[in-house]
Amino acid sequence: MEIFIDSDKLKKVLNIVARAVADTKTNPVLSGVKIEAANGRIVVTGGDEEITIVREISLGDDKSERILEAGTILVPIKYFHELIKKLPNQTIINIKKNNRQINITAGEIETTLSGMDEEDYPSLPRFSEENGVTIKGSLLIEMIKETQFAAAKVNSRAVLTGVNWLFSENTLTMIATNTQRMALRKTTLNSTVSGSFILPVKALGDLVNSIDKHQFISIYPSENSMVFKGKDILFYTRLISGTYPDISRIIPEESITELVVSRSLLLQGVDRANLLASQWKHNNVTLSLTEDGKIQVASSTTEVGQITERIKVQDVNGDKSLKISLDGKFLAETLKSINEEMVSLIFGGNLRPVIITPYNKKSTLHLISPVRAS
């Protein structure tokens, strides 16, 4: 195997693939990145036990990039990526296999890395392109960002550490919850796929990092895995097995108070309140309404101090005696995940979950359960 390739292109692809490559000692072959050159195509593959990224590099027309000899190599990603990153930009790199050694040359820089046995690298799972859904990259990234933060962290029920993707006729709904808060994002799409799938949060982060927001991405779900296909990328992830809880029952239907407020002003206020709430187990931040119809954000920590601020609301309806304590960290994360400038807060009572949505947009819905103020 011998290729000539532009250093900038290789850097860009390795930045994407390297993030996903395992830093594992249980399966050393996964610490490598595979480069295949054949039929005018160079394909870079890397991943871990959960995901695999396959990225194609298209060669330029001017013959400075070319495949001199087809073949496959497997090199330790750590050294290979660090080395390629440190090579000059806008240079042609020559990569050549020499028995188990990989020679990497750029101008007067000559490097040899010990290769790994490419035969040991796991082959890609087969998948069918019959049953799929196509979605714009930017929408997919937006939906993932609006939900994944709400999933449970480690040491929870396995299904809750992932994000539930529900395909039903012409609709995709993403849901994440850690039982104290929930994020839900829905979209309509042209789809015949149906079913419920649970995607690991780490895979979703790598997916967002890997796909081009301007491309259309095709999604092919199967029982154990999901495949994402773009113009020059294939992204495989394993699914989390198990049954995701039905959250439709927990969304409150009655409200006693509703208000509309600037997302950024509320977020800044909650951020400040979190300073003095951070010593609490639950980051208690208390929301209430003032007599003149402002929303008041407050927190306190004994022996340190207290903070109270009032924020003008655009609109408020219903019971003004509301007073509710929430986990300020959950509230800040929720507000950060929303793109719109105005948000609606819908309260069902002091002990009921709060609903937070972008103003006048029903496709995104967040729930945060109250904590008992001490």
Q: Burial-class residue 146 by CB neighbours within 10 Å (0-12, 13-18, 19+).
A: buried
Binding residue for a copy of itself, selected from 184, 276, 365, 367, defined by CB under 8 A: 276
Asked whether the CA dihedral 132, 137, 139, 142 is positive or negative, the reply is positive
Check residue 112 for interaction with a copy of itself (CB under 8 A): yes
Check residue 94 for interaction with a copy of itself (CB under 8 A): no
Q: Least Å distance between CB 83 and a copy of itself?
A: 6
Q: Are strands 364-368 and 181-188 parallel, antiparallel or unpaired?
A: antiparallel
CB 236 within 8 A of CB 222: no
Binding residue for a copy of itself, selected from 109, 124, 158, 251, defined by CB under 8 A: 109
- Give the residue with the Cβ less far from a copy of itself, 258 or 309: 309
- Give the residue with the Cβ less far from a copy of itself, 24 or 278: 278
- Give the residue with the Cβ less far from a copy of itself, 83 or 159: 83
Residues in Cβ contact with 315 at an 8 Å cutoff, skipping those fewer than 6 apart: 258, 259, 260
Which stretch of DSSP H or E encloses residue 77? Answer: helix 77-86
Check residue 272 for interaction with a copy of itself (CB under 8 A): yes
Check residue 221 for interaction with a copy of itself (CB under 8 A): no
HSE-CB for 372 with a 13 A CA cutoff: 1
Q: Least Å distance between CB 273 and a copy of itself?
A: 10
Which among 252-260, 268-276, 343-351, 358-366 is the span making contact with a copy of itself, rule CB under 8 A? Answer: 268-276
Q: Least Å distance between CB 76 and a copy of itself?
A: 7
Check residue 294 for interaction with a copy of itself (CB under 8 A): yes
User: Looking at the DSSP assignment, which residues form a beta bridge with residue 5?
Assistant: 93
Q: Least Å distance between CB 262 and a copy of itself?
A: 13
Which among 111-119, 170-178, 229-237, 347-355 is the span making contact with a copy of itself, rule CB under 8 A? Answer: 111-119
* Site track 114-153 with a copy of itself (rule: CB under 8 A), x = hit: x---------------------------------------
Q: Least Å distance between CB 307 and a copy of itself?
A: 4
Check residue 82 for interaction with a copy of itself (CB under 8 A): yes
Give the chain's length.
374
CB 198 within 8 A of CB 242: yes
CB 315 within 8 A of CB 250: no
Give CA–CA dist 107/241, Å, rounded: 50
Q: Write down the residue that tokens 């800040």 correspond to.
A: 332
Check residue 293 for interaction with a copy of itself (CB under 8 A): no
CB 275 within 8 A of CB 256: no
Which among 28-36, 107-115, 134-142, 143-151 is the span making contact with a copy of itself, rule CB under 8 A? Answer: 107-115
Torsion of CA 125, 131, 134, 137, to 10 degrees: -20
Report 300-329 residues binding a copy of itself (CB under 8 A).
303-311
Phi–psi pair at 240, nearest 5 degrees: -85, 130
Q: Write down the residue that tokens 């104290």 correspond to.
A: 180
CB 335 within 8 A of CB 356: yes
Which among 138-146, 184-192, 238-246, 272-280 is the span making contact with a copy of itself, rule CB under 8 A? Answer: 272-280
Which among 61-69, 138-146, 192-200, 271-279 is the span making contact with a copy of itself, rule CB under 8 A? Answer: 271-279
Which of the 8 DSSP states describes residue 325?
E
Which stretch of DSSP H or E encloses residue 109? Answer: strand 109-114
Q: Least Å distance between CB 226 and a copy of itself?
A: 36
Interacting residues toward a copy of itself by CB under 8 A: 76, 79, 82-83, 86-88, 101-102, 108-114, 268-269, 271-272, 275-276, 294, 303-311
